[in-house]
A = this chain, B = another copy of it.
């Protein structure tokens, strides 16, 4: 889908349009799976414009990953907020949201994790680390509100479930991955917040 033309020449708007159009292409093809020339042709923009706004292919990639991380965590945060006050329901909402993501035909796993597997670039790894930290904050908050004895540890366990479910969903498209992950997460939540058995 080419960048909209004919609209007002507004550099900020052009930059945003390039970002939005390039995101699914690089996600589908892989960061090194498409050259700048073909990418520009696909999104309907000249190389000069792309380089003026992002300086470098890596610069574009980093901008895409930053935006995607914020959009994704914002999306999950809204799902949690819409689930009411019960930590159980909030956690279930996270995996229900993930399920909708996994079902999309274009789903190819977490873009940040994929990018870190491709480039060993420090900037990309930093973006991925921040992304996981955002997830961790969200999950640790749920764990804390549930009264877990060690919310940080439970949060990390839930983070592993989220990332693991994403990996499995990207490679085994058949079964109800998010539903199984949700069941596991709720089991961990209730086990961590229940009073110690005698």
Contact = CB atoms under 8 A, between A and B. Distances in A.
State the copy count for this chain.
2
Nearest to A150: B180
A25 B172 CA distance: 29
Interface of A, helix, strand, loop or mixed by DSSP? helix
Given A157-B180, A157-B184, A180-B157, A120 B167 contact: no
A125 interface: yes
Interface stretch (A2-10, A63-71, A109-117): A109-117
Contact of A117 (B117, B159, B168, B181): B117
Interface residues of A, number: 40
A132 B30 contact: no
Contacts of A171: 113, 116, 125, 128-129, 132
A73 to B, nearest CB: 15
A163 interface: yes
A16 interface: no
A56 interface: no
A177 B164 CA distance: 13
A91 to B, nearest CB: 14
A184 B164 CA distance: 13
A129 B116 CA distance: 20
A156 B161 CA distance: 11
A172 to B, nearest CB: 7
By Cβ-Cβ distance, the 10 closest A-B pairs, closest first, are A164-B164, A160-B164, A117-B117, A114-B117, A157-B184, A163-B164, A163-B167, A118-B118, A187-B191, A160-B165
11 contacts: A30-B117, A30-B119, A116-B170, A116-B171, A157-B161, A160-B167, A161-B161, A161-B184, A163-B163, A163-B167, A187-B187
